[in-house]
Structure 1
Amino acid sequence: MTIRSRREVVTFNHPFRIRGIDRQLPAGAYEVVTDEEMIESLSFAAFRRVATMIKVPVEGSRGLAMEVVSIGPADLSDAQRIDAGQSDG
């Protein structure tokens, strides 16, 4: 089984919440890692997502220590959509 990891940085302009994390996170840039496995039985290369994780500061660490938390891709999209809809005023 072939697994690949995709990394991206997502930026939140406002403090946000995401399902699976029991606290509000500060605005900023966050690394998101998506693991995908190759679907072997096809005649072309195709992958399916098996895990999505986000690196967040450990609670009370002032951003010095980080932890990786598994989240749902739809929950990440929801948090990004809510953030984009908030006004900066």
Structure 2
Amino acid sequence: MFTRTKTRTVHFDAPFTLTGLEGVHAPGDYQVQDDEEQITGISWLAYRHVATVMEIVAGKKRSLVPIDPSELDAALDMDRVLSGQKSLNTTH
């Protein structure tokens, strides 16, 4: 089965927490990877979401931590509200 990974950068203006991440994380840019798996047995090309991970850097150590994509979207929306920006979140 074919799997593809989409990488994107998300930005937080305020400290944030997410289930799966230990403690409060500093504002800044974070890499997020969304894995999708090809759906077979149909006559058109289609994918389904199978995993989302966030890259966390602590010193020289880099970790990919599984996160809930809807919780990430909610945290980004809350960050925009707190920073006074209009929500630009779109559905994947």
TM-score (norm 2): 0.84
Residue 42 of structure 1 deviates from its aligned partner by 1.3
Instruction: After TM superposition, give the deviation of residue 87 of structure 1 in Å.
Output: 3.4
Aligned to 2:49: 49
The whole-number CA distance in structure 2 between the counterparts of 1:87 and 1:6 is: 27
SS in structure 2 of the partner of residue 67 of structure 1:
strand
What is the deviation of 1:32? 0.3
1 CA distance for matches of 2:62 and 2:80? Answer: 25
Structure 1 residue runs of 5 or longer lacking an equivalent are: none
Q: Which residue of structure 1 aligns with residue 87 of structure 2?
A: none
Q: Using the TM superposition, give the Cα deviation of residue 20 of structure 1 relative to its aligned residue in structure 2, in angstroms.
A: 1.4
- C-alpha RMSD of the superposition: 1.3
Match of residue 20 from structure 2: 20
User: What TM-score does the superposition give when structure 1 sets the normalisation length?
Assistant: 0.87
Q: Does 1:78 align with 2:51?
A: no
SS of residue paired to 1:86: helix
Partners in 1 of 2:16 and 2:74 — Cα distance? Answer: 10
The count of aligned residue pairs is 84
Q: Distance in 2 between matches of 1:81 and 1:19?
A: 16
Instruction: Extract structure 1 runs of 4+ deviating beyond 4 A.
Output: none
Q: CA deviation at 1:65?
A: 2.3
Q: Which runs of 5+ in 2 are unaligned?
A: 85-92
